[in-house]
Every structure is written in C-alpha cells, then in structure tokens.
Amino acid sequence: MEGGPAAAGRQVRLRPIRRRRATHELRPVPAVPRRVSRRRRRVSGEEADRIFDQIRQQRQRHVIGKLARSMIAVEDFHHYLFNEELNPPLRSQVHQDMTAPLSHYYIYTGHNSYLTGNQLSSDCSDVPIVKALQRGVRVIELDIWPNSAKDNIDVLHGRTLTSPVELIKCLRSIKEYAFSASEYPLVITLEDHLTPDLQAKVAQMVTETFGEMLYYPDSEDHKEFPSPDSLKKRIILSTKPPKEYLEAKDSKGKENGSQNGKDPNEEEAWGKELKDFKFESEFDDKDENDQSDDEDDVADDDLKLRQNSAPEYKRLITIRAGKPKGSLKDALSVDPDKVRRLSLSEPQLEKATESHGLDIVRFTQKNMLRIYPKGTRFNSSNYNPLIGWMHGAQMVAFNMQGYGRSLWLMHGFFRANGGCGYIKKPDFLIKTGPHGEVFNPRATLPVKRTLKVKVYMGDGWRMDFKQTHFDAYSPPDFYTRVGIAGAPDDSVMKKTKTIEDDWTPVWNEEFIFSLRVPELALLRVEVHEYDMSEKDDFGGQTCLPVSELRPGIRCVPLFDRKGNKFKSVKLLMRFEFV
C-alpha cells in the first residue's frame, strides 16, 4: 500500500496498545503521520479491499457482512504492517527490459563456487554450488584439473590442500538446480587446466548432461552477446583459450602475501567496516605491469596449445575470454566485429581505474569484464564491489561461501529486478554521448535524488534469540546504523540513539541522504546491541537497492551474518523520495 498505512482513502491513527512487558508482547505501533505527500500514490477502494482480504485470510478471521468488509481491527493492521509478504520494501517481480545484450546487465557472479570454506584447505563439493544457485547466483565458476590417474576430470583449487570433487557430480547438480531461483541463463566459467583429450571429455560430459539446455553459438565470433530473454532456461559456457595444465603458471606468480604489510584476512567473523571507495590505489608502482594472476593472460608458448585444443570443446564456448598481447590499454580495446570477456583481479582493477577508467567504461558497454578477489584472500573474504559496478563490470565475482559486509552488499544489490540475478545497467554506463564521450566515475556530480529514511521500531528478537543472548540479566540495548553504499560522495553511515532494556525498541528517527548516483546506491541497515564492556553484539542486517524501494511505511526483514533471513526479526521503516 503506497504512501503509508492508509486504508480505503482515509487516514488512520492508532491508539497505543498497552500490554504488560512481562508477557513480551508487542509494544505500541508508532502513530501514522497525519499528512501524506501529494506525490505518493493513493490506493483505490478495490486495492484496499484486496489487501484487507489478504490480511483476514492470513489471520484466519471469518468476518461476515457488507459492513465488516470495509473494516479491520487494530491487531490486523499491525499484522499487515509487519508482514513482509503483504508490505514488502521491494517489488518482487522482474520488471526491467531483458532483451538487451548480456553486456548491458550486471550478473550475480560467484568465485570458486565449489569451495566449502577457505581457499587453501577446505573441501570441494557440489553443496555450495547448489546453495549459490538457490540464492539466485547466475555465474558458477569451476576450476577443472586432471584427476590423479590423468584419465578423468576433478574440480579443485589447484596447488592447494583442497580435496577434489568429480566434475560430473558438479554438472549433474547444476542441471538439477540451475533454474530453481531464476529462469534466466546460467553461465559456467571454466578455469581450464586440461590436456586436449580431457577437454574433449569435458565437451562430451557437458553435452550429454545438459542436452538441449546447453546453448552455444553457430560461429566463434559474434558482434554482440545474446540477451537474457533469448536464453531463458539455457546454460552457457565461458572460458579463456584452452591451455595444457602442465604449462599452467607457477603458483609463485600469484600474489604473494599481503601488500603494504596489511593483514590478508581483512574481514572478521561479521566483517569490518567497508573500505572507503575513493579511487585511491594502495599498490606500489611495481605492480603496474604485473599480470601474473590475470586469468585471461595468454603467453606466447600457449598459442600452439590453443590451436591443438579439442575443436568440440572450443565450439561450446559462448563467452570467450582472452587478453590480447600488449598493454592494458590494448586489452581494453573494442573490436567492432566481435565481443569477448576480460578478467582482472581486484588490485588490477583498482590500478586500472587510475589511468584507464574511461577505457574500462567504454569496454564494458559492449564486452564483458569479470573481476575476481585477490589471491591473498585465503579466508574467502571479499572486497567492495562498487568500484567494479561504477565502471560497468558485469561479473564482479564473489566468494559466496565467505562472509562480511561486502557480501551483504552483493546479496542486497541482486535483490533488485525480482531477484532474477540480472540487473540492467544504468543508461549512462551503456550509452555514449553525441561526441563519443562516456560516463566518468571520477567526475564530481550534482545531487540527483534525496532519500528520507525513518526508522520507527523493531521486533522479533525475543522469538529468534534466547532471553540471555545479548545480556544475561536484562533486556537488550538496541541501536540501528543506517547509511548508503554507492558512489564515493554518496557513501555514509549514520546511527540512531540506543534504546535501553527493550526487546521491541522504538526509535522514531529520520535520516536524509543526498544521492548523486541513486541508480547504484544501496541502503545499508544494521542493528547492534550496545555492550559497555565488550564489543557490541550483532542483531541483524540488510541491504536494499535504493532505486527499487517502495515509498511508504514498510516491513524490512533482517538477515544474519551469513545472509540467511531471520524468521521473525523485522524493522518498521518509512521511505520517501523528495
């Protein structure tokens, strides 16, 4: 119901519901504002009746009579306000144009999707792949290597202590769960370390397992990628030009240790505060030309291997990866006659944005750019994805088995467009100006939109947590952090006052955010419990795409550290654009 909880065109003000605190029942619902902005859409009588019927059905009330159909009790209205299904903060349907080329979309992308934990010693399994697919991830990455007998293919993180899982097991699980959360295309990126005979075996496995679900182009080169709409319920492959695994680069060429003396394990159990996104490089000049961990880098001695690779394997590749010989500027060149995918590591991207930011934006208008975590993230932590998104990178690859605030942003970003895993990039990242100019992420931009966020109250912790979880002898002391993750000048965090000794805190505080790039802004919400002597306790979090917020008073469900939704914990918030 847009514009706050008004029913059938009339304003409603709730009287406080006085209840004994010992029963742990609901506190008073905050009074609904008397004035409703003229810019908000008022609901029709039919819409109100439909919502009332839904409320009654969920509350299992049996009201008879014409008069009763236009009325609901205060308890019913409270149920509506705190019901995520009836009063969600976001639209739940796919609503964007899905007929543009794949390069015009951000795609929900996983990194080393088969790992159950850290990058060095965890098990390889199809279980995290299934979990990622059920969450809506649309790009699954598999590292494929010969097994110990050199007669079959395993999936594992090479040159580590990770235990392998058979490729065929991963492929069968992918087939079963590929479209469990979204009908739009699933991309499998292959990090290939196989000999030509095993590449041919992969081609056979893939075609036999996926059958008609597998899509591949008629020719090797095409001028633009197909659209998500044209590839519904299809699986496509993406990989770099094949190379023999024995010729794979020495792992010593990978990033070694932390840079500038920083701890490689940058995120704690629930994530340190996000690193500021200020277009400043933390890397030394000696790294400028270091492409040692570029997954698409093709050495001279690999050219012969490319020619000898299995033809049946090569023809199945829809999104071809590869970096031309030469400088980074050469790698970012745009070929009018064909499209390709380029991969850059997290530090390579940061360095590239300093001198080639406009080239990156121009490249991503037509081609695909994949960003992956730096090699020192041994604990499967992640990085700030906004720098990639601001430059149009479609595949910002994350360790979905990881944790922390960066992953919360990823989860929140892809709640947009009905959670289908594909989000249309803003027009300014797709189109060029009349003189060929492209969007400059470094430019100082004017405020485009202002968002008002009011945090009314929260509830549900007493159902989802033990009575002694936060404090052994008293109710918890909750406060809420509210802010924006987005363009550098948009990013900010603010904080409510702390409500002491209350399981259902009422804050009634409003925050105003001026947004320069609202299309990429995420609303960050975190609830913590103040602890005087120790670190504050975690009480829930969520991230919501600002461009998809439904104006009005909304129920906002919260999630745990791993991104799993709490059963009962919710906030009541109001969103208003001015």
Q: 139 pairs with which residues across the strands?
A: 109, 187
**62 in catalytic set:** no
Kindly name the residue from 79, 157, 193, 528 that is annotated as catalytic: 157
Q: Are 502 and 512 in contact (CB under 8 A)?
A: no
Ramachandran angles phi, psi of 306, nearest 5°:
-60, -40
- Number of Cβ within a 10 Å radius of residue 14: 15
Kindly name the residue from 111, 193, 356, 411 that is annotated as catalytic: 111
Distance CA 43, CA 41 (A): 6
> In terms of Cα–Cα distance, which of 322, 328, 268 is closest to 297?
322
Strands (E), 69-162: 105-107, 139-146, 153-155
Q: Are 538 and 481 in contact (CB under 8 A)?
A: no
Kindly tell me the sign of the dihedral angle through the C-alpha atoms of 394, 400, 402, 404: positive
> In terms of Cα–Cα distance, which of 307, 190, 191, 292 is closest to 251?
292
The DSSP output letter for 547 is G
Distance CA 123, CA 346 (A): 24
**111 in catalytic set:** yes
Could you report how far apart the first and last alpha carbons of the chain are, in Å? 19
Distance of CA 519 to the CA centre of its chain: 15
Helix (H) / strand (E) element for 424: namely: strand 422-424
Distance CA 110, CA 380 (A): 12
Helical segments of 338-404, H only: 346-364, 386-390
Give per-residue burial for 393-411: e unless 16+ CB within 10 Å, then b: bbbbbbbbbbbbbbbbbbb
Q: What is the C-alpha radius of gyration for the chain, rounded to an integer number of angstroms?
A: 26
Q: Any idea which residues carry the catalytic annotation?
A: 111, 157
